[in-house]
Amino acid sequence: MFISDLINGPLVRFSFICFFAGTLYQVLSFITLSKTRDRHPARQQRAAPERKKESDLLDRTSFAYRFAMFRLTVFGRYPVMMAVTIIFHLALILTPLFLFGHNILLDVSTGLHFPSLPESVTDSMTMTVLACCLFFLFRRLFVKRVRAITTFSDYMMLSIAGAPFLTGLLAYHHVGHYETMILAHMLSGEIMIMMLPFTKFIHMIYFFINRFILINQNTLGKGGSRVWR
């Protein structure tokens, strides 16, 4: 069948080319559109003046103080959401990489492969991703502040991220017609890979640019080195 031949071979290669070329394009266009900025000369020269330590009323090493500070971070304010999003992203990225079925295909086509996790483990990771997707969906539907900024594209993003996991799970458990399910799985996976550098999934690239390279009030690490323009 023509369509299945397309999905089986050329489209896989095309989607990976799209992903790597698109990522390269995004990184290069960021580099050309931004410039390095040194720290302000006054700040560079002057070392922080020695301050006489005043005795502190607060015991800043106490658990109570540290816990109070922790409560102010995004992890402290939205603990459930942060836990779910970390589990979601870890499983989302690790599952396809260390999946036995994928590694076989990778070995056949390139001769290289990643180590594989036991299939029972990846199977539960797949279900975890789907459960997290459901959590995000319900949050979008029922939490007022999330609904206020939700657009159609957010539902699309959730479905595109969830589709390869749903179809992969169904195919693995041979629910429905296997051949069709695997085709649907490959197609949805290819669509997701192709879209990564161009759609809302661009946050995968810009998370690192925003938080480690661009200078702003929330830059992590050494405080960043570049600014826009």
Partner 1 sequence: MTTQTEPEVDTQEILKILDSRKKEISVTLKSCAHCSLCADSCFLYRCRKNDPEYMPSHKVINSIGTLSRKKGKVTRDELEDIKEIVWKRCVLCTRCYCPLGIDIPSMIALARKICRSQGVVYQYDEEKREPQK
For the chain, report the end-to-end CA distance as a whole number of angstroms.
Answer: 50
Nearer to partner 1 by Cβ, of 168 and 197: the residue is: 197
Residue numbers at the binding site for ligand HEM (CB under 6 A): 12, 85, 89, 92-93, 95-96, 99, 101-102, 105, 122-123, 126, 136, 154, 157-158, 161, 164-165, 168-169, 171-172, 182, 185-186, 189-190, 192-193, 201, 203-204, 207
Residue numbers at the binding site for partner 1 (CB under 8 A): 29-30, 33, 74, 77-78, 81-82, 85, 143-151, 154, 157, 199-200, 202-203, 206-207, 209-211, 214, 216-219, 228-229
**Amino acid, res. 116:** S
What is the nearest approach in angstroms of partner 1 to the Cβ of residue 57?
24
- Tokens representing residue 137 in the block: 């969906």
What's the rounded Cα separation, in Å, for the pair 229 and 151?
30
Q: Which does 22 bind (CB under 5 to 8 A by kind): ligand HEM, partner 1, none?
A: none
What is the nearest approach in angstroms of partner 1 to the Cβ of residue 33?
5
Question: Which residue's structure tokens are 């826009």?
Answer: 228
Residue of 158, 163, 160 lying closest to 138 (CA atoms): 158
**Amino acid, res. 14:** F
- Tokens representing residue 226 in the block: 């570049």
What is the nearest approach in angstroms of partner 1 to the Cβ of residue 69?
14
Residue of 4, 181, 207 lying closest to 93 (CA atoms): 207
